[in-house]
């Protein structure tokens, strides 16, 4: 493979992986800390993308759209947690799945009513519209690089928050023993509300960031949800570190799977089969480590 093409694919794979991490980390946090399976997680990614599209049009500025979209998502998350999710903590997984599946349908319908079913695109903000030339014919878009950097900054911030702040300690304590945490004077209801709101706001933010590089379309939430469950399972349920490793792995496998043609035992493996490569990888990882790469759970 031409080294420049390889570099471009590598950057694409890393960028896709980092974006997946933003979505999947919220999913794994909400499961690891609160024990809730949130099927509607992908819907927030979709919602984020539509918010980016509609707010950019309304406000005429992508950056304002990002900021206000993020704030809206946090508020929406707090509201949903208060209305629905907090009733699920002591329920079994079937009830969680039923309720959050219901949320998928509601969000999909609401999206259809408010924004319609059309496919949209969001322009790359002028500030980042350029490309970095690699050769005379090849260039890499600045926006994608910026996107990767933002994801890394957010991931580092999340790591710091969870591992090194008192709030993070309280959250981890709550994941291990809810009653004890409460008896130390910590309002675990508020803590869980924040974790949920922050988790889904990350998914929405990922959707907003992705809007300029992919199109904005109705089914994008469900597609990302499936891949995110793969990320969470490969990484180890509840492990943020695992989500990072698995997301990067999937980003690279998926990206290179689409461009590399190779032969196994005389059979030519076509790029068209790339969609499967991710699931094949999941099967292999699970056979090797059923608890996932970083199976050390939070709870």
User: Does 90 interact with another protein (rule: CB under 8 A)?
Assistant: no
User: Does 195 interact with another protein (rule: CB under 8 A)?
Assistant: no
Q: Which is nearer to another protein, 149 or 184 (CB)?
A: 184
CB 292 within 8 A of CB 237: yes
What whole-number distance in Å separates Cα of residue 73 and Cα of residue 105?
18
Residue 125, CB-side half-sphere exposure with 13 Å CA sphere: 20
What whole-number distance in Å separates Cα of residue 22 and Cα of residue 204?
9
Interacting residue with another protein among 170, 252, 260, 274 (CB under 8 A) = 170
Interacting residue with another protein among 33, 162, 175, 278 (CB under 8 A) = 175
Cα 185 to the chain's mean position, in Å?
A: 32
Find the radius of gyration of the CA atoms of the chain. 20
Question: Applying CB under 8 A, which part among 39-47, 64-72, 179-187, 211-219 lies near another protein?
Answer: 179-187
Least Cβ distance, residue 155 to another protein (angstroms): 20
What whole-number distance in Å separates Cα of residue 181 and Cα of residue 185?
7
Interacting residue with another protein among 57, 98, 156, 180 (CB under 8 A) = 180
User: Does 186 interact with another protein (rule: CB under 8 A)?
Assistant: yes
Provide DSSP, 225-236. HHHHHHHHHHH-
Find the binding residues for another protein in span 280-299 (CB under 8 A).
298
Residues facing 263 on adjacent strands: 268
Interacting residue with another protein among 58, 135, 177, 223 (CB under 8 A) = 177
Least Cβ distance, residue 30 to another protein (angstroms): 17
Residue 276 burial (C-beta neighbours within 10 Å; 0-12, 13-18, 19+):
exposed
CB 30 within 8 A of CB 195: yes
DSSP 8-class letter at 124 = P
Question: Applying CB under 8 A, which part among 63-71, 173-181, 213-221, 274-282 lies near another protein?
Answer: 173-181
Least Cβ distance, residue 258 to another protein (angstroms): 39
Least Cβ distance, residue 35 to another protein (angstroms): 15
- C-alpha distance from residue 211 to each of 16, 56, 90, 91, 283 (Å): 13, 11, 36, 35, 31
Question: Applying CB under 8 A, which part among 5-13, 92-100, 165-173, 199-207 lies near another protein?
Answer: 165-173
Least Cβ distance, residue 119 to another protein (angstroms): 44
Q: Return the C-alpha torsion angle 288, 16, 46, 291, nearest 10.
A: 10
Least Cβ distance, residue 82 to another protein (angstroms): 15
Least Cβ distance, residue 240 to another protein (angstroms): 13
What whole-number distance in Å separates Cα of residue 37 and Cα of residue 96?
6
User: Does 172 interact with another protein (rule: CB under 8 A)?
Assistant: yes
Binding site for another protein (CB under 8 A): 166, 169-170, 172-173, 175-177, 179-189, 298
């Amino acid at each position: 493979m031409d080294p420049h093409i390889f570099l471009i694919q590598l950057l694409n794979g890393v960028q896709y992986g980092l974006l997946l991490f933003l979505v999947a980390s919220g999913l794994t946090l909400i499961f690891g800390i609160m024990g809730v399976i949130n099927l509607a997680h992908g819907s927030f990614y979709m919602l984020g993308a539509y918010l980016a599209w509609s707010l950019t049009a309304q406000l005429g500025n992508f950056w304002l759209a990002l900021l206000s979209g993020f704030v809206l998502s946090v508020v929406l998350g707090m509201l949903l947690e208060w209305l629905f999710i907090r009733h699920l903590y002591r329920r079994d997984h079937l009830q969680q799945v039923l309720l959050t599946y219901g949320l998928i349908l509601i969000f999909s319908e609401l999206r259809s009513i408010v924004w319609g079913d059309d496919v949209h695109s969001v322009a790359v903000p002028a500030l980042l519209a350029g490309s970095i030339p690699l050769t005379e014919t090849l260039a890499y878009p600045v926006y994608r690089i910026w996107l990767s950097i933002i994801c890394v900054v957010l991931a580092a911030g999340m790591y710091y928050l969870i591992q090194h702040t008192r709030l993070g300690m309280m959250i981890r304590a709550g994941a291990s023993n809810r009653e004890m945490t409460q008896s130390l004077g910590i309002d675990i209801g508020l803590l869980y509300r924040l974790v949920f709101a922050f988790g889904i706001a990350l998914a929405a933010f990922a959707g907003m960031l992705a809007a300029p590089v992919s199109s904005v379309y109705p089914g994008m939430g469900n597609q990302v949800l499936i891949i995110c469950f793969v990320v969470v399972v490969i990484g180890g349920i509840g492990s943020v570190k695992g989500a990072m490793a698995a997301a990067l792995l999937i980003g690279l496998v998926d990206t290179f799977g689409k461009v590399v043609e190779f032969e196994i035992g005389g059979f030519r493996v076509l790029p068209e089969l790339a969609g499967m490569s991710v699931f094949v990888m999941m099967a292999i990882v699970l056979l090797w480590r059923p608890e996932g790469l970083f199976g050390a759970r939070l709870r």
